[in-house]
Amino acid sequence: MTQHFLQGRTEQEVLWFRRRSFLQGAAAWTALGGFGAAQAQQRTNVVELQGDATLNGQTLRRDTVIQTGDRVETGPGSNLVFVIGNSSFQVRQNSRLTVERGQTLSTVSVLRLLTGAVASVWGKGTSRQIITPTLTAGIRGTGVYTEVFPDQELRSYFCNCYGVVDLAAGRDQTRSQSEYHQSFWGEVNPKDGKLITAAPPINHTDEELENLAKLVDQQTAWQITGRKAQKGASSSGDGYGTPAAAAGAAPASGGGYGSSAGGAPTGSYR
């Protein structure tokens, strides 16, 4: 199975789904009927909030409703999980993003990530976008992980964990078709003439996507097929296979691509 790596993230960040507070929040969310029931009953769509976060510049509380059109910012050590319509989001610490409104109040048309990181699962629907400073991803029904690195001039990382995604950066375009993680960099400056380049699998886990999918009554591609094998990208431009790990990145085998026997971490996180 593919080994996963951490680059500038910690074990605690990628294993948020093991926390009792999330497990309790997720169980309650499902038992009470998910997003449709929460919207009808005017209940919060925040599944978990750890640490400090703001919504449109005001303190975000656990009972707040996050709507399309809102601006979200998380502080150091924070973790935020919320659902809008048939899409679910986990926001890492020190992130800034907006969820822009689609055809209805409960449809996200654009997730605009300015800095930080978000894991997200999107149900089937009209074409939507994830936009970072260096990359635009057109998505439909898929699970993805997106990160913007402020210490790399806002270089963007994008993993199509499963589904079909159309990527664009400047004049570069490619289509990614994935059953199990295909990763890309959105470069600040061209590398070998390209703004979209192959990337290693970093900073997110299978279990994160599985838990986010469950919040919107979905399953990941590998849960449906029972397979965890990357077949290589099918793209309209250059093909992207599974690249080698990033130099200096530390392996994460606790909850990464294929947990170790018994689920105990065996890799080192840095």
**pLDDT of 225-236, one tens digit each?**
998 875 443 333
pLDDT tens per residue, range 191-209: 999 999 999 999 999 999 9
At residue 40, φ and ψ (nearest 5 deg) are -65, -35
58 vs 38: CA distance, rounded Å: 22
Please determine, for residue 237, whether its predicted confidence score (pLDDT) is greater than 70. no
Q: Which two tokens stand for residue 134?
A: 């260096």
Domain spans of the chain, in order of start: 4-263
What is the sign, positive or negative, of the torsion defined by CA atoms of 207, 208, 209, 214? positive
Beta bridge partners of 113: 97
Contacts of 254 (CB under 8 A, 6+ apart): 11, 15, 260, 263, 264, 265, 266, 267, 269
At residue 66, φ and ψ (nearest 5 deg) are -90, 125
Contact 177, 141 (CB under 8 A): no
- Give the closest residue to 166 by CA, choosing from 117, 118, 237: 237
Please determine, for residue 159, whether its predicted confidence score (pLDDT) is greater than 80. yes
Please determine, for residue 242, whether its predicted confidence score (pLDDT) is greater than 50. no
Q: How many CA atoms lie within 13 A of 107 on its CB side?
A: 12
**pLDDT value at residue 202:** 95
* Residue entry with tokens 């790399």: 152
132 vs 112: CA distance, rounded Å: 6
Give 161 or 250, the one with higher predicted confidence: 161
Contact 34, 28 (CB under 8 A): no
Give 207 or 3, the one with higher predicted confidence: 207
CATH class of the domain at 4-263 = mainly beta
pTM equals 0.86
222 vs 215: CA distance, rounded Å: 17
Mean pLDDT taken over the chain:
85
Contact 191, 250 (CB under 8 A): no
Whole-number percent of the chain with pLDDT over 70: 83
**pLDDT value at residue 125:** 81
Please determine, for residue 122, whether its predicted confidence score (pLDDT) is greater than 70. yes
For the chain, the C-alpha Rg in angstroms (whole number) is 17
Distance of CA 62 to the CA centre of its chain: 21
C-alpha separations of 128 from 18, 19, 46, 111 in Å: 30, 31, 22, 8
- Give the closest residue to 159 by CA, choosing from 137, 174, 141: 137
Please determine, for residue 74, whether its predicted confidence score (pLDDT) is greater than 60. yes
53 vs 206: CA distance, rounded Å: 25
**CA angle 193–118–150, rounded 5-degree value:** 55
